[in-house]
Structure 1
Amino acid sequence: MDMPVGTIANAGAIVAGSLVGILMHGRFPENVKRIVFQGLGLSVLLIGLQMALKMDRPLLVVFSMVLGGIAGELLRIEDHLESLGERVKTLARSRNALFTDGLVSASLIYCVGSMAVLGSLDDGLRHDPTILFTKATLDGFASIPLASTYGVGVMFSAVPVLLYQGAITLGAGSVREFVTPMLLTQITATGGLLILSIGVNLLGFAQIRVGNFLPALAFAALLSFTPI
């Protein structure tokens, strides 16, 4: 079984970028921290919007978000994610109040998107980690402002990235026939709305429980095989 080289590089880039961001954290005056936070929120909004505009089946995305949100609320996914984040925070002996927010938000940003899926499949099927190397560069730079705002929790998001992308790479052969361009488009569009929600939270416009919308990605994949 081949090592998921691209995913390992991706996780390493997140850790490296986070370390830089953590070192920079205490060097910013309050007004600079605020403008960095706002710039980060606007950038995340733009990334999410760019992904969401790829939708070519709006009804499918609407159904996915509604059904996914209901499922997430019933399963209390956000509560479980926060609880897990708090346990990791305790193990890391961190006193940062934003640790869990950083871990959850960064994990969603890095794991939701076509590059994560396509890159992992490419690495597994064709042993070509090029897409994941590109993603690693982007995620590494994104980790700097994220970690300067949220702290060490962002660095721990490398773990879910390693597990999620690594699992796709190692299991690529068994899912290849199901991963169609149409399926990726719907997942990307739905994932874009989740990323948009993170940007809304960062800017303080509302407090959306983004974790509870995670099942929307599964519904988007399933509904892509229907005529909706």
Structure 2
Amino acid sequence: MTLFVGAGTVLNVLTVLLGGTIGLLLGSRLPERVRLVAMDALGLGTLSIAVLSILDVADPALSEAVGPGAALVVIGSALLGGIIGALLRVESRLEQLGHVLRRVLLRGRTEPAGDPEPAEADAGSRTARGDSRFVEGFVTASLVFCVGPLTVLGSINDGLGRGIDELAVKSLLDGVAAAAFASALGSGVLLSALSVAVVQGTLTVVGFLLGDLLDAAQVAALSATGGLVLLGVGLRLLRLRDVPVGDLLPALVVAPVLVAAVGAFVT
């Protein structure tokens, strides 16, 4: 069955809302062992999807464009992209961006204004704490759900019409995380579904537009290179190695460019 472009983002929004609602209903009763088992299962699933994506290295269009060195093009894309990402410190900058946004959006939300009477002070303090908790839930969940390689890779692949496998895994991850966040931070987590819709929707449109600019060989190289990035995500979910997958994101830009350069040389 062919899904419409953007189906991955719709699924992700629904899982965030569902997970957040379950978290609100369960409160703090969600066992830690359930979350760990879910992460392991999703880590294994991510590795399997990564392998399937990497198999695009055997795509006939890619082989025709670059000759027998298709695998080297994909590996080279990951290598060059990783070096560029490490030099630009993409991973750490993404983390810094999250911290900055969190400080900016939560600034001034912890203390009630003015100097009210004691009874009013208690009510005002409770209101301020409630507001701060709501905003913190929204900000924290939004950053976790919207800043990461699965967000970029999954949304672009969705826009390219190559399926929603990555976003399906991300949706399950976000659903579990939303339940945990909502149980601790409250209903503000549900509003993060709006952030998911805006960010991933925008990236999906970018992927859709790229589909008109990239040929089949470049799309195959992008997909195979993205599979290597997904391997890093899977290893992190399984807590085997903390691969800096953010630094590998530039490889998604390098792959189509490298295919064009090698193709021009081969022909």
TM-score, normalization by structure 1? 0.73
The answer on whether the counterparts of 1:10 and 1:139 sit within 8 Å (CA) in structure 2 is no
1:41 to 40, 43, 54: 43
Matched residue, 1:22: 20
Q: 1:123-171 deviations in whole A, cap 9, x for unaligned?
A: xxxxxxxx67x998776556423534677498444433122122344x4
AA of the residue aligned to 2:216: P
Q: 1:82-136 deviations in whole A, cap 9, x for unaligned?
A: 122224444342399887555434xx2243157324239xxxxxxxxxx67x998
Please say if 1:112 is aligned against 2:116: no
Deviation at 1:76, TM superposition (A): 1.1
AA of the residue aligned to 2:198: V
For residues 181 and 74 of structure 2, the distance between their equivalents in structure 1, rounded to whole angstroms, comes to 30
> Using a 3 Å threshold, how does the CA distance of structure 1 residues 86 and 158 change in structure 2: closer, same or farther?
farther
**1:1-228, aligned counterparts within 5 Å?**
6-7=5-6, 10-25=8-23, 26-56=28-58, 57-90=70-103, 91=105, 92-94=135-137, 100-105=143-148, 108-113=149-154, 115-119=157-161, 140=171, 143-148=174-179, 152=189, 155=193, 156-169=195-208, 171=209, 176=212, 178-225=213-260, 226-227=262-263
Give aligned-pair identity as a percent. Answer: 27
The answer on whether the counterparts of 1:54 and 1:185 sit within 8 Å (CA) in structure 2 is yes
The answer on whether the counterparts of 2:39 and 2:173 sit within 8 Å (CA) in structure 1 is no
For residues 175 and 240 of structure 2, the distance between their equivalents in structure 1, rounded to whole angstroms, comes to 23
Task: Tell me the secondary structure at the aligned position of residue 87 of structure 2.
Answer: helix
Give the greater-gyration-radius structure (CA).
2
Deviation at 1:11, TM superposition (A): 3.4
For residues 104 and 150 of structure 1, the distance between their equivalents in structure 2, rounded to whole angstroms, comes to 16
Matched residue, 2:122: none
5+ residue gaps, structure 1? 121-130
AA of the residue aligned to 1:50: L
> Using a 3 Å threshold, how does the CA distance of structure 1 residues 212 and 54 change in structure 2: closer, same or farther?
same
For residues 140 and 171 of structure 2, the distance between their equivalents in structure 1, rounded to whole angstroms, comes to 23
TM-score, normalization by structure 2? 0.64
For residues 166 and 244 of structure 2, the distance between their equivalents in structure 1, rounded to whole angstroms, comes to 26
> Using a 3 Å threshold, how does the CA distance of structure 1 residues 88 and 20 change in structure 2: closer, same or farther?
farther
AA of the residue aligned to 2:203: Y
Deviation at 1:50, TM superposition (A): 1.3
For residues 64 and 194 of structure 1, the distance between their equivalents in structure 2, rounded to whole angstroms, comes to 11
Deviation at 1:190, TM superposition (A): 0.3
Matched residues, number: 206
Q: 1:20-73 deviations in whole A, cap 9, x for unaligned?
A: 122334442122121111111111111112111221311001111111011001
